[in-house]
Amino acid sequence: MQFENQPDTPWDFALKDKNDTFWGGYQVLDSSRKVFVDAPESDQRITRDYPFWVAKGPFIDGTRVTLTTAALHYPAGEAIRIAHIVEETEKRRTLYVMGPKAIRDEFVNDILATSATQNPGDYPWLPMSYDGVVDSSPGIDYNFEITQYRFDQQGIYRIQWRPGHYRSNILFITVK
């Protein structure tokens, strides 16, 4: 079933990477050792290949927030991992590139599935305290936690990230 603005396939590797960004890798916190380690390749892929994602989020004030995932169709009960990307296209914006940062304001079928933003100012994806590297825009911030969902019921699930006044693309996930 085709949805409005929903591509048949989420990835198109024929697209040019207009950003020509350097991929520095994606890490996660190993809480047992309290150190950052390289994320599994499957998680790195859904963040690293962002330039080739077909249905990115809309630009709002020069900022685009986008969700990506490995596929749009999953068997019931299988883990669905969602990556979060912020792209800044205008100059004079700041990229807070250290992370991964916690995800807030993610909705599944229009129901809040994560915690809500505490301070929905200009950078609603930032934690209340940030002590890390910053870059000048334009650029892309990939360093957000990957959320995971499992749906036992067959159906179509809509996932969208809504930090502050920004809106991501909507992922229509079909579970069979």
Q: What is the pLDDT of residue 100?
A: 86
CATH number of the domain bearing residue 91: 2.60.40
The one-digit pLDDT tens for each residue of the chain (176 residues) are 445 555 566 767 666 665 555 566 778 778 888 888 888 888 888 888 888 888 999 999 999 999 999 999 999 999 999 999 999 999 988 888 888 899 999 999 999 999 998 777 878 988 878 888 888 889 899 889 999 999 999 999 999 999 999 999 999 999 99
19 within a domain of the structure (yes/no) = no
Q: What is the Cα–Cα distance from 62 to 42, expressed in whole angstroms?
A: 29
Q: What is the pLDDT of residue 30?
A: 81
120 within a domain of the structure (yes/no) = yes
Beta strand extents in the chain (DSSP E only): 27-30, 35-38, 59-60, 63-68, 73-74, 80-88, 94-96, 106-108, 111-112, 134-136, 139-141, 147-149, 155-161, 171-175
14 within a domain of the structure (yes/no) = no
7 within a domain of the structure (yes/no) = no
pTM of the predicted model as reported, rounded to 2 decimal places: 0.87
**CB of 67 within 8 A of CB of 56?**
no
Which structural domain range is residue 126 located in? Answer: 27-175
70 within a domain of the structure (yes/no) = yes
132 within a domain of the structure (yes/no) = yes
How many distinct structural domains can be found in the chain? 1
